[in-house]
A = this chain, B = another copy of it.
Amino acid sequence: MNFRTDLAIERCEIFGEKAVSGVETEVFEAHKSKITRIEVTDCEGEKAIGKPIGRYVTVEVAPFAEHAQFIDDSLYAVTEEIRRIIPPTGSVLVAGLGNIRITPDALGPKCASMIFATRHIKGELLRATGLGNLRNVSAFATGVMGETGAEAGERIKGAVQVLMPDFVITVDALAARSAERLGRTVQMCNTGIVPGSGVGNSRQEISRRTIGVPVISIGVPTVVDAAAFVADCKGDESSISESGFGMMVTPKEVDLMIERASKLTALAINCALQPEISPEDMLILTA
């Protein structure tokens, strides 16, 4: 089955109101944002929505209004959910996936460049800055295979073997079914990622199984596959098996959307990782 979406929440929607065996869903509101926690509990659930056993959380944030503040309810909601899904302690490697030269695919590398890397800040300096208790963080963008000759997964695996983080966070642009979700939904899960799976161009899986440490994946949908878009508009699901045309649908304001989503994601990750630093100070530290 071809879902043409990376979002667990959209895959569940296919089943409508009816309960899906092996999939538990909880919806609530916090910080003025709608939060949906989906738990895939067994193989039946795995098969139904095509996602491995694990936890999938979606935060629907306020629309990125043109002049929105960065430190607002959305940030608090995303930060809180990230903090809940990552290990409470331990060092981390943040890897930005995707192609920085394709605007809707640039979320990962842009976000990686705004992560507050701390792994190299040692003893004296730490004390001098008064940041005694920083979590050990490293960060980089994986680049794309056409330019590096290596899969994103290989780049992460190599880094993990040398930097030896306790876990990995990947950040990637996702594909959604609904254009309304673009730039307005943050999904996070504890099962890793198969990059490109939402647009029919699957790459090597990046997960505990392939990398050796837990992988938390965070993403924001930035495109709708053109075939899925048409099928939705037609209201005819069967047509989705078509080619996809090699085309994608994005908002006309895609550059603004990516800019805001990268900043929100990076700031939320930074705040989730370093709870002792206030969002205001973090914004300054990484500006």
A and B contact pairs by CB, cutoff 8 A, 8 listed? A101-B103, A103-B103, A120-B146, A138-B149, A149-B163, A158-B161, A248-B249, A248-B251
Chain B hits for A287, CB < 8 A: 70, 263
* A234 proximal to B (CB < 8 A): yes
Are A140 and B117 within 8 A (Cβ)? no
Is the contact region of chain A dominated by helix, strand, or loop, or is it mixed? mixed
Chain B hits for A145, CB < 8 A: 120
A residues 240-282 in Cβ contact with B at 8 Å: 245-255, 263
Q: How big is chain A's contact interface, by range? A: 35 or more
Residue of B nearest to A114 (CB): B147
Using an 8 Å CB-CB cutoff, how does the interface string of A192-232 with B read, 1 for contact, 0 for none? 00000001010000000000000000000000101001100
Residue of B nearest to A148 (CB): B140
A-side residues, CB < 8 A to B, are: 67-70, 99, 101-103, 113, 117-120, 129, 136-141, 143, 145-151, 154-155, 157-163, 179, 199, 201, 224, 226, 229-230, 233-234, 245-255, 263, 284-285, 287
- Counting chain B CB atoms within 10 Å of each CB, which of A118, A129, A233 scores highest? A233
Are B120 and A138 within 8 A (Cβ)? no
Chain B hits for A148, CB < 8 A: 117, 138-140
The distance from the CB of A74 to the nearest CB of chain B, in whole angstroms, is 14
